[in-house]
Structure 1
């Protein structure tokens, strides 16, 4: 079989994108005919671009998380990454990536971050690269920033994300609901007793796993302080990542209860620790959450970053796979309550396993290798303009009302009683133009009007009765004058 070159591109803006890339690399390497390269594009760019892209983001998460949420909402507009200044900034700073792509000439590109996806899409659109582009979304919701002007397939975490892409005019056959790629070992059985012995823990006691993330951020020390007050006998493993000071602080704090606590630095043992844990306590990053549900381990969510982590938290809570603690001072109470109810804990575990996708990386690899879809090419400027114009309700009220007034030849007006919301009927454009002169005052540009019996009598005297007029007349006769609200609609042909 002819060799297939697969290039996996990520960007170390947080740890999740690279974690997903490693899981995909492992899945693709199962195919003997596939040559795989896994590249973090920030390793190939200049220091300034790399630091702005990664370190500034991490500092914002630590110091001004609300600003991260504002940026998330700002970038949720479709094709936001195609704005000229942003695209020029990326192009100027990623020329080594472009050269690498031209040299490697991949048959398939799989991107776990929108920036490399945008570079590949640009080269495809300009005819510089003949490849198939798969974009892997690494959160449970779809953000408009990920929309690419050229692509072959999107891989998303759940059906709702697919629906969002379809709403952006991406055809369903170009979307695969795969889950977020994690190491397949998270779905395999674990010898929990062996893991406990490795860390000299009691396999008969609940084990709580706190993760401060790869860089050792978050409120780990505050959580440990509260867990020292637990009523239940439990033991806690704290993973401090690369934050050596945090590890020392935890070790000092828990000295009176050292038997119950283990403080670790960066560890490659997370698959075993997560699978053996009773509960995982931490932030719901897309990859962290996916690892937990793949293992069937419920989460206690703390301090999610506004934006993507808030949305990830919403999903886990909707599915009954997690609890959220908004006040760290009572996290011991919440965990004690949960440990008081083995049935509730078992249901959380079952829900987590139900929505987990330990097979996601294998699904993505198999689908991408077999994909015969031609590239989708968006005229991103016109597409973005159209998408931003919808829905009309997002416009100022005056614009909405003007839009509702005076339909064109292809549109019909639906009438509702304003007070009750009851649908009364429709009028075609010609009927409406005739009635408007009698029902609406000169120059009136509002979406409602009050109708009296005198109005209806004049309409009937002119021979302009209709089923709608009869229905309105019956209501006016019994209730007195009523207010009508009109809504502009487009009816299918033949309606």
Structure 2
């Protein structure tokens, strides 16, 4: 195996990068080197920083506009012949240069844009195996289909969507959204059954998503210990520290997945936004999830499916003065906890290919055999 590339998009720490890191760790555990490449940074490093900043401002200050444009351009019924000429003009030659320079055998796409480009270029590189690794609970129109070899899908709903779009079901793997191997050890039932319950609040590492406003409205009544995961959001961290409240704790940026896993192990539940990776980590750990906000676009779409399948609790319209009582009542209700576990176990039980290391071994074995046959 000469080379393996993983293509996220943009340099900001999003789910695309977390899934890319998870794949990279799995491949390294099998003795294989994999290189992450962001085509935007590779092609236009200065413009990428401006674009990332503009994206964050856009979803923060004009969420309805972003949501409307996202739904218009990326959602709806898939069209096989739909072209995105601006993306092709900006990135096709850069992707060709990367492929010619790196000569990869396998390319994993954790974002729709590199998938779209590789789908277009695949006829020029017939020996290249291309894998879509979906990082949300739905698939938008931009993701490549026709020339993609394998698909790692997050749910049976997505599998059922792809088959009528021309994808061979034998090339679809029900893996869920891949999470880092540090989170794969399933917890025993360590949930606290009496207060104070430990609740993680996260979703503000990039400074967007309403987490500061939510924390400012917290009204601790003694039933919950709140651990605020601040990431690199210095404004949030400083604010929480300034409260000097015994039931509200500021957690600074965590440098490793192992640290995050330990925090999960200490928690009774989590308040978060419906990002694909965070939700998948919580499902893996069987941590009850309470959604306090959803960013426009992808997170709105995720929330629709998650809420429909009763995998999360939507608390966006709750009375904040009563939120703690509602959460405590959830954990104290045997019926609600039993119902929650039933839905989570049902979802996880559908993931017939959940062990990502086994799927990777199969794909790599097939690729090696193909290369050997060509040499004979």
Per the normalisation by structure 2, the TM-score is 0.84
Greater length-normalized contact order (CA 8 Å, ≥ 6 residues apart): 2
What is the CA-CA distance between 1:128 and the residue it aligns to? 4.9
Counterparts of 2:122 and 2:2, CA distance in 1: 18
Counterparts of 1:65 and 1:188, CA distance in 2: 37
The CA deviation string for residues 121-177 of structure 1, in whole angstroms up to 9 with x for no partner, is: 33322x257311011111111211113452111111111101111222222222222
1:54 to 1:363, Cα distance in 2 relative to 1, 3 A: farther
The CA deviation string for residues 9-60 of structure 1, in whole angstroms up to 9 with x for no partner, is: 111365100000010011112223x332222333312135413553322222
Aligned twin of 1:314: 304
Give yes or no for the alignment of 1:211 onto 2:202: yes
Aligned twin of 1:84: 85
SS at 2:3 equivalent: strand
Tell whether the 8 Å contact from 2:9 to 2:39 is kept in structure 1 after alignment.
Answer: yes
Aligned twin of 1:385: none
Structure 1 unaligned residues grouped into runs of 5+:
197-202, 375-495
Counterparts of 2:212 and 2:270, CA distance in 1: 15
Counterparts of 2:287 and 2:274, CA distance in 1: 13
Structure 2 unaligned residues grouped into runs of 5+:
371-376
The CA deviation string for residues 257-308 of structure 1, in whole angstroms up to 9 with x for no partner, is: x221211222132222223311110100111111110111111012212332
SS at 2:178 equivalent: coil
Q: Following superposition of structure 1 onto structure 2, how do residues 382-393 of structure 1 map, counting pairs within 5 Å?
A: none
Aligned twin of 1:259: 246
Give yes or no for the alignment of 1:113 onto 2:111: yes
Aligned twin of 2:277: 287
The CA deviation string for residues 173-193 of structure 1, in whole angstroms up to 9 with x for no partner, is: 222221111012223156999
Counterparts of 1:237 and 1:349, CA distance in 2: 23
Q: Following superposition of structure 1 onto structure 2, how do residues 388-399 of structure 1 map, counting pairs within 5 Å?
A: none
How many residues are treated as equivalent by the alignment?
357
SS at 1:67 equivalent: helix
What is the CA-CA distance between 1:349 and the residue it aligns to? 4.3
Give yes or no for the alignment of 1:243 onto 2:243: no
Tell whether the 8 Å contact from 1:7 to 1:108 is kept in structure 2 after alignment.
Answer: yes
171-180 vs 347-356, which moves further: 347-356
Aligned twin of 1:365: 360
Higher gyration radius (CA):
1
1:187 to 1:270, Cα distance in 2 relative to 1, 3 A: same
Tell whether the 8 Å contact from 1:138 to 1:180 is kept in structure 2 after alignment.
Answer: yes
Aligned twin of 1:160: 157
